[in-house]
């Protein structure tokens, strides 16, 4: 004798179907979110790698004249501003070539000083990139400048990417890593400094550590950090005349005037 479903059996079937449907939905949703997160992370890493490679190319293109004494106009400048993801450091140096400025830039064919920092959002800016802020550069030639030239006022800022929210830079400490102007050996323990002041600003560091922080995909995640150590090929020219580490004059030179 055939017997139909009771009300309890029907309710139980509906509950089980609901549970299976919910599990399936949440599993699919979790998989989709993981896929999107993985795609966004890969895209961010690719973007960060491209940006930091541009910075590395620009640093490797650092220019320094073959002079007997350090020339201040061609030295490296580092302004420290915070640590980690909140850092908005500023670095400036003289370079050659198209890195960071582009082939169409009027300064690309001549030695030019470039300044890299993280620009804050500017609601008054004309273009969208400047309004959002981000990793920004300014570049200007060294020769034939007006007497009242002020790069902070006379040079426009170009935002390379709004996705960079932090820039932290350190330089190889010459006091602890250099002897008689030579690069550190493979056995030396490298020490880094957040400052580059006094006589150092007439010279180039042997290496710069650059850390970029990219905005996370969601507000609950930490910024993505990408780090690179870049050696400057022309740094030895900037230290050629020094008698001891840190650009100090040797005792022989000091005693000549006595």
Q: What angle do CA 129, 130, 132 make, to 5 degrees?
A: 65
Residue-wise pLDDT tens for the chain (258 aa)? Answer: 556 667 787 788 888 888 888 888 888 877 777 777 667 767 777 888 899 999 999 999 999 998 777 788 899 999 999 888 889 999 999 999 999 999 999 999 999 999 999 998 877 767 666 678 899 999 999 988 899 999 989 998 899 999 999 999 999 988 877 765 566 777 778 889 998 988 888 999 999 999 999 988 777 778 889 999 999 999 988 887 754 344 443 333 333 333
Query: Is residue 235 assigned to a domain?
Result: yes
Query: Is residue 118 assigned to a domain?
Result: yes
Domain count, the chain: 1
Query: Is residue 206 assigned to a domain?
Result: yes
Query: Is residue 72 assigned to a domain?
Result: yes
Query: Is residue 227 assigned to a domain?
Result: yes
Query: Is residue 134 assigned to a domain?
Result: yes
For the beta carbon of residue 257, count every other beta carbon within 10 angstroms: 5
Q: What is the DSSP letter of 216?
A: P
Query: Is residue 2 assigned to a domain?
Result: no
Do the Cβ atoms of 204 and 235 come closer than 8 Å?
yes
What is the rounded distance in angstroms from the CA atom of residue 129 to the CA atom of residue 139? 17
Range of the domain at 187: 40-247
Query: Is residue 15 assigned to a domain?
Result: no
Classify the C-alpha dihedral 63-69-72-77 as positive or negative.
positive
- pTM greater than the 0.85 cutoff: no
* pLDDT tens per residue across span 61-117: 999 998 777 788 899 999 999 888 889 999 999 999 999 999 999 999 999 999 999
Produce one character per residue of 101-122: b if its CB has 16 or more CB atoms within 10 Å, e if not. beeeeebbeebbbbbbbbbeee
- The alpha carbon torsion through 221, 39, 30, 85 (nearest 10 deg) reads 0
């Amino acid at each position: 004798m055939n017997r139909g479903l009771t009300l309890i059996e029907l309710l139980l079937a509906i509950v089980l179907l609901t549970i299976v449907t919910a599990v399936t939905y949440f599993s699919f949703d979790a998989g989709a979110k993981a896929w999107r997160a993985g795609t966004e992370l890969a895209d961010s890493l690719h973007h960060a790698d491209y940006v930091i490679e541009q910075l590395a190319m620009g640093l490797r293109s650092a220019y320094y004249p073959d002079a007997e004494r350090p020339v201040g106009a061609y030295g490296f400048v580092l302004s420290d501003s915070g640590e980690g993801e909140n850092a908005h450091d500023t670095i400036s140096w003289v370079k050659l070539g198209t890195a960071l400025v582009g082939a169409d830039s009027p300064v690309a064919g001549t030695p030019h000083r470039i300044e890299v920092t993280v620009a804050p959002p500017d609601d008054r800016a004309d273009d969208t990139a400047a309004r959002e802020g981000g990793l920004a550069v300014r570049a200007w030639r060294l020769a034939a400048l007006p007497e009242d030239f002020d790069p902070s006022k006379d040079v426009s800022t170009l935002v390379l990417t709004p996705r960079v929210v932090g820039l932290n830079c350190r330089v190889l400490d010459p006091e602890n890593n250099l002897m008689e102007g030579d690069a550190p050996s493979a056995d030396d323990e490298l020490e880094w400094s957040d400052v580059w002041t006094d006589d150092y600003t007439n010279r180039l560091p042997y290496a710069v550590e650059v850390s970029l922080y990219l905005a996370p995909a969601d507000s609950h995640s930490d910024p993505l950090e990408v780090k690179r150590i870049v050696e400057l090929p022309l740094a030895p020219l900037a230290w050629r005349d020094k008698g001891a580490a840190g650009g100090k004059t040797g005792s022989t030179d000091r005693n000549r005037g006595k």
